[in-house]
Amino acid sequence: MGSFFFPVAGVETWLWLPPLAAFVVSFFGSMVGVSGAFLLLPLQMSILGYVGPSVSATNLVFNLYATPAGVWRYAREGRMAWPLAGLIILGTLPGVALGFYLRTRWLPDPTRFKLFVGAVLLYLAWRLVRPLRRIPSRSTSAAHVARDYPRKSWRRTELRLGDTGYPVSVPALLVLALVVGIVGGTYGIGGGAIIAPFCVAVLGLPVQLVAGAALAGTFATSVIGVLVYSLLPLPDGTSAAPDWALGSLFGLGGVIGMYLGAATQKYVPQRALRVGLGLVLVTVGASYVASPLI
């Protein structure tokens, strides 16, 4: 009852399942700068049985719908770090195209690469939770992101949240964003699940600065990713174009969940946000590490 067959994906499912799953993952993910696409990927592959190369592109379609709602909400409330978002976008865009070629030409079954990515994510989870005792338990995310950025140059800039400044190495962030773009393009996850924890755990930025910027980067890379998957043929001449109907159904729940999650973030303490991001990393990292062993 209420089921529908999606011919591009070759799967049949209830119409309520994709938007409900997308709403849940995007509501919690948007608080820490993660769209939740990386959680929808195993849902499509394991539960729906959608395992073709176009599943990555369909996952990116979900990001096209969902992430603008979160970005708009963060920007509307003055909680968007636009310089950070610009650097993330600049670095990730070329990586997405490289990720497509990795996925379709050299990594049709990227078990070893997934093992490496999973190990990195588990390490980041440890880096996130290790300093929790030194982080205040009260919520500070209502503070606005400063619009003036002192000490700005091509090598270094400073981001400000309230009265606190956070120096950032521009070349280091660009290299990081390039790597994230490659991984995101390969797996169809947009990259937010990786760039957000790196910025928090390695660069020492607060989640409140990173969340909106990471979602903006995810949206930009998803646009390029969908175009690449839709227009460029696979080595055997077939197409990896997304299932727009299924991706849009996921996106419907994602829009609502992303908007409400971004609106709720300012009431959540920084410690809880880091724990939540750590749990996200443990989930996806453990699944990546375990998949080659099963």
Per-residue pLDDT tens digits for 89-136: 888 888 877 876 776 666 655 566 667 667 777 877 787 777 655 555
At residue 221, what is the residue type?
T
What residue ranges do the domains of the chain occupy? 12-293
Prediction pTM value: 0.83
Beta carbons of 195 and 69 less than 8 angstroms apart: no
Q: Quick one: how many helices (H) and strands (E) in the chain?
A: 10, 4
Give the C-alpha separation, 38 to 60, whole Å.
Answer: 10
Largest CA distance in the chain: 60
Over the stretch 180-225, which tens digit does the pLDDT of each residue have?
778 766 665 656 667 888 888 778 888 888 999 999 988 988 888 7
